[in-house]
Amino acid sequence: MPDLTPLWLTLRIAACATVLAFGFAVAFAWLTARFNFWGRDFLDAVLTLPLVMPPTVLGYYLIVVWGRNGWLGGWLNAHFGISLMFTWQGAVLAATVVSFPLLFKSARAAFEGVSTEYEQAARILGDNELRVFFRITLPLAARGLLAGTMLAFARAMGDFGATLMVAGNIEGKTQTAAMAVFDAVQAGDYALANTLVAIMSVVCVTILVMTNRLASRGRAGR
């Protein structure tokens, strides 16, 4: 039985990253979908950037910001003695950034698909903005949000470049499945590589099939 530690680590990192990305993505998506403010298109572009940039470039940015001498990393290090570099939390950070745009884009489309008339009706019926969001906007956007979340999870699981830059490739600590496959192939351990690749493929195909189903049912209803 091959060592499956990288797989569990990958799942843990991807799960944490998806939760984080979800929170930020929903907030920014709601903001950009519901308000027309100065610089909105620019903000959207910046938030989508991780989708098109090479992961290593992203990783470099993350080091600049979160590294021991980075803008935020330096502050964290000075005040709390914490550094995210070469830890699994650092890997979460990298995975969050690479998966964020997928969630953000789906969430924005989902929110824009919710007619503002429903929100207005809810206001007239006595709801404040918080209740409008949780009782109307979020439930009506749920399908799109869920589809985006699954895509983001799949992307977070598969990240290589950004994670390598920020968290390194430390066996048992920050070595994710994607890196374990790379190492296994380098070392000629094809049994381990095959196992990891097979599991990753099955998980990703499952996620994509479920996402497609959600999306098509979303179109049929409403």
Residues near other proteins (CB under 8 A): 115, 117-118, 120-128, 134-136, 139-140, 221-222
CB of 140 to other proteins, least distance (A): 6
Instruction: Identify whether the C-beta of residue 25 lies closer than 8 Å to the C-beta of residue 217.
Output: no
CB of 208 to other proteins, least distance (A): 26
CB of 122 to other proteins, least distance (A): 7
Instruction: Identify whether the C-beta of residue 102 lies closer than 8 Å to the C-beta of residue 148.
Output: yes
CB of 117 to other proteins, least distance (A): 5
Q: How many Cβ atoms from other residues are within 10 Å of residue 36's Cβ?
A: 8
Q: What are phi and psi of 35, to 5 degrees?
A: -125, 140
The residue among 46 and 142 lying less far from other proteins, judged by its C-beta, is 142
Instruction: Identify whether the C-beta of residue 65 lies closer than 8 Å to the C-beta of residue 84.
Output: no
The residue among 52 and 124 lying less far from other proteins, judged by its C-beta, is 124
Six-digit token string for 49: 């950037």
The residue among 145 and 154 lying less far from other proteins, judged by its C-beta, is 145
Residue count (the chain): 222
The residue among 122 and 180 lying less far from other proteins, judged by its C-beta, is 122
Q: How far apart are CA 102 and CA 99, in angstroms?
A: 6
